[in-house]
Copies of this chain bind each other. A is one copy, B any other.
């Protein structure tokens, strides 16, 4: 008996954990479907025995936990529990996975309280380490040594880095338009890397095919339910960091929709446990050139449009987790908002110059979304907010070069004279 089971997001069918995990099933056996240029159908959610959780940990017990080490309270995760510890997995593994322990930067913008949640200082410098860590722990638990994923960047470098830390092998299927710095990082960690002469969609499908054939554990985002569950850890960490008093709204950059789904899932679990009264309003920011969720929430219909934005990490024509992301926004009385690429770059500059936080464009989109939400009157100035910063600008120097000044070497004399003229 395990303390959790799997439930289909779409058809509500329920499955015991063993059936799903032992057979390496990912999507719902009843209705699951992965089709090109289409959101996934039958994404599985993990449901817990809340009595079991409460027998093992209390609200105040959880609030006393350390951030960035979700495995220290295993009852909230789809992992085997052995006398309060995970089986098979040693402390030395966890030591290598510790996320940033205080991602909260208290800040304000034009007098409004808006904190930043900095995920750029995780082990491989992005939010994706949350999902990779949980998937990797599960792989060790299952005795699987090889994990594969399709990725446009951060998820891939995260999986590669986490696998390298734990002595697992990673296989990355990446599209040819992957930003070079992220490809470098993936290859640096020693992942077996397959650069597909095609787009992310092709890489995604090829990865599913190869994973099945070669028995690799698959970490494709949304497809593997543990990617959602791993990202849920951010919500739990926020609960701990805010001592249970959550902000009014959280701005989340949305591409495939898995981060926002994971955060929603975490708060939903807390709500179900009766440990919070309300989930913060989730504001989904998308680039205007990649706004499938914005359009879906307006029209209640998905229509594929190829995506194009400078914010590569949220560039997704067919968000794999569209339906769950949509629910996350609606159920929390949030809203979606589309921002222009030029406003993302301005936000990136302001993040760096006014707050000392170097964000990649997708991460800076959260700030652009805040500003537009305020301008449009969608965000009340009395609310308290949190902006999610999902990846570092160090991985995207091309975007930074678009707004820093040109600079050429000058003689000492010229420098001295330039200062006199000020």
Within 8 A of B (CB), among A351-405: 352-358, 392-395, 397, 400-401, 404-405
Q: How large is the interface on A (under 10, 10 to 19, 20 to 34, 35 or more residues)?
A: 35 or more
Q: Is the CB of B190 within 8 A of A353?
A: yes
Chain B residues near A122 (CB, 8 Å)?
121
Q: How far is the CB of A380 from chain B (nearest CB, A)?
A: 23
Chain B residues near A412 (CB, 8 Å)?
196-198, 202, 206
Contact of A164 among B95, B210, B355, B394 (CB under 8 A): B355
Q: Does A19 contact B (CB under 8 A)?
A: no
CA distance A408 to B412 in the complex (A): 45
Contact of A405 among B104, B176, B187, B349 (CB under 8 A): B187
Q: With contacts A394-B125, A395-B394, A412-B196 known, is A356 near B100, CB below 8 A? A: no
Q: Does A189 contact B (CB under 8 A)?
A: yes
Could you say which of A106, A188, A190 has the most chain B C-beta atoms within 10 Å of its C-beta?
A188
Q: Is the CB of A409 within 8 A of B197?
A: yes
Contact of A407 among B162, B185, B193 (CB under 8 A): B193
Q: How far is the CB of A275 from chain B (nearest CB, A)?
A: 25
CA distance A69 to B397 in the complex (A): 30
CA distance A195 to B411 in the complex (A): 9
A175's nearest neighbour on chain B, judged by CB, is: B409
Chain B residues near A89 (CB, 8 Å)?
none
CA distance A404 to B172 in the complex (A): 15
Q: Is the CB of B356 within 8 A of A185?
A: no
CA distance A180 to B394 in the complex (A): 12
Q: Does A83 contact B (CB under 8 A)?
A: no
Within 8 A of B (CB), among A280-320: none
Chain B residues near A407 (CB, 8 Å)?
183, 187, 193, 195
CA distance A104 to B354 in the complex (A): 31
Residues of chain A at the chain B interface (Cβ within 8 Å): 92, 95-96, 98, 100-102, 104-106, 121-125, 161-166, 173, 176, 180-181, 183-185, 187-190, 193-198, 202, 206, 210, 214, 349, 352-358, 392-395, 397, 400-401, 404-405, 407-412, 415-416, 419
A sample of 24 cross-chain residue pairs with beta-carbon separation below 8 angstroms, ordered by A number, consists of: A92-B106, A96-B356, A101-B102, A125-B125, A125-B392, A161-B356, A162-B356, A164-B352, A165-B357, A173-B415, A176-B409, A185-B400, A188-B352, A188-B353, A189-B353, A190-B352, A194-B415, A195-B408, A196-B410, A196-B415, A197-B411, A198-B409, A198-B412, A210-B419
- List the 10 closest A-B pairs by CB distance, nearest first: A165-B356, A190-B353, A164-B356, A197-B409, A176-B409, A187-B404, A394-B394, A101-B101, A121-B121, A188-B352
